[in-house]
Amino acid sequence: MFETGSDILKTSTGRTLRSEEMIINMGPQHPSTHGVLRLELVVDGEIVVDVIPQLGYLHRCFEKHSEAMNNYQQVIPYCDRLDYLASMNMDWAYALTAEKLLNLQVPERVEYIRVIMAELQRIASHLVALGTYGLDIGAFTPFLYMFRDRELILDLFEMTCGARLLYNYIWVGGVSHDLPPNFIQKTKEFCTYFKPQIKEYNDLLTYNEIFIKRTANVGVLPADVAVSYACSGPMLRGSGVDFDLRRDDPYGIYNRFQWDVCVGKGEVGTIGDCWDRYIVRMREMEQSVRIIEQALEQISEGDVMSAIPKRIRPNAGDCYVRTESPRGEIGFYLVSDGSGTPYRVKARSPAFVNLSVCPEICRGYMIADVVAILGSIDIVLGEVDR
């Protein structure tokens, strides 16, 4: 959005362009933006001088809608649509927040089901992120392999609650359906099948020379900048910060499992480059499989609906609860005025916050690198714009 009609061209932030600079619009209809995001690139030849993200093309008034619901449970389908690649994690974060306001304990079996679902969802989400990332860089085949394997997870979800993308499965106080009889067996089969697949992805894409050339030493995000921008998830861990909410601010029953937090080490370039963010996601999938296998061993029988409240009226108060979604810290700030309607729901979405660091790490690179950097941030526009 720059002014014409005068000799002076300005960026949308009001800065006057120098004579050698020009503005290129990337998006909102650009395949590498993974949705409807517009980036205003200020370029000097091929060099990116500044990036100004323009959001809001997918704004659906999530927070306004939530305030109009007359029941806390009715917000959950809207949470599904925040990060539509990780709906389970979104629902869980919201349910946890409401449960904290209500001071509600959920049954053991529900805790295990939630962990299994969230970790399956993490794998599914990372498969999309990594597959489309390869696609952005120019590798078509890994995308097909990863989507093929993601289908298996979606089948498991469909078996459980009938939906493949937007589940409305995790409710305040429980889950909507118990696991179907053969779910545990099928999930174990999936884990056995999936572990060797990760090696195949690595052979196909991770250590591919062209892929490394495009991603190593590109978009380097130093750890202190990442913390100042409150980056989270693979974005933060890619910068070498050993921080995972599942371990460092535990929720649910994550403290019962043995698993490792993966961080970027700058193996092929600098710590915090695009390849590091990529490899953190790849290795997290292995860890998720580990968690799922342990959870499947430990899960016990029980009633999953017993703790779901008939009528939700938390005492007046507010709280913020954060959990680890595939993209990072998804938090809900929930305010109750004592009635059955949420007074204020604010979704702190990881993609929104991670995207805000984009201008910082794009400056000085080539236009083609912006595609690689944006892909490595792994945004979902449903969550950025809410």
Partner 1 sequence: MTPQEIIEKLKSTFGEIITDAKAEGVVEPFVKVKAESMKDVALFLRDDTDLQLDFLMCLSGIDLGKGNLGVVYNLASMNKKHKMTIKVEVPRDKAEVPSVESVWKTANWHEREAYDLVGITFTGHPDLRRILLPTDWEGHPLRKDYKVPEYYQGMKVPY
- State the residues that interact with partner 1 by CB under 8 A: 1, 12-13, 55-56, 59, 61, 63-64, 67, 100-101, 225, 227-230, 241, 243, 248-249, 317-320, 322, 329, 331, 333, 335, 344, 346, 348, 352-353, 356-357, 385-386
> How many C-beta atoms surround the C-beta of residue 15 within 10 A?
14
CB of 2 to partner 1, least distance (A): 13
CA 386/CA 384 separation, integer angstroms: 6
CB nearer to partner 1: give 47 or 55.
55
CB nearer to partner 1: give 248 or 303.
248
CB nearer to partner 1: give 175 or 271.
271
CB nearer to partner 1: give 142 or 350.
350
Strands (E), the chain: 22-26, 38-44, 47-54, 170-171, 174-175, 317-325, 328-336, 342-348
Which residue type sits at 80? D
CB of 284 to partner 1, least distance (A): 20
CB of 80 to partner 1, least distance (A): 20
> How many C-beta atoms surround the C-beta of residue 9 within 10 A?
16
Beta bridge partners of 23: 42
CB of 271 to partner 1, least distance (A): 17
CA 63/CA 80 separation, integer angstroms: 13
CB nearer to partner 1: give 64 or 363.
64
DSSP annotation of 47 reads E
CB of 264 to partner 1, least distance (A): 16
CB of 247 to partner 1, least distance (A): 11
Q: Are strands 22-26 and 342-348 parallel, antiparallel or unpaired?
A: unpaired
CB nearer to partner 1: give 29 or 192.
29
CB nearer to partner 1: give 66 or 121.
66
CB of 352 to partner 1, least distance (A): 7
CB nearer to partner 1: give 344 or 363.
344
- Asked if residue 350 has a cis previous peptide bond (ω within 30° of 0), the answer is no
CB of 116 to partner 1, least distance (A): 27
Which residue type sits at 243? F
C-alpha distances (whole Å) from 191 to each of 122, 167, 198 are: 14, 22, 11
Contacts from 35-40 at CB under 8 Å and sequence distance 24+?
35/379, 35/380, 35/381, 35/382, 35/384, 36/381, 37/355, 37/379, 37/381, 37/384, 39/358, 39/370, 39/374, 40/1, 40/11, 40/12
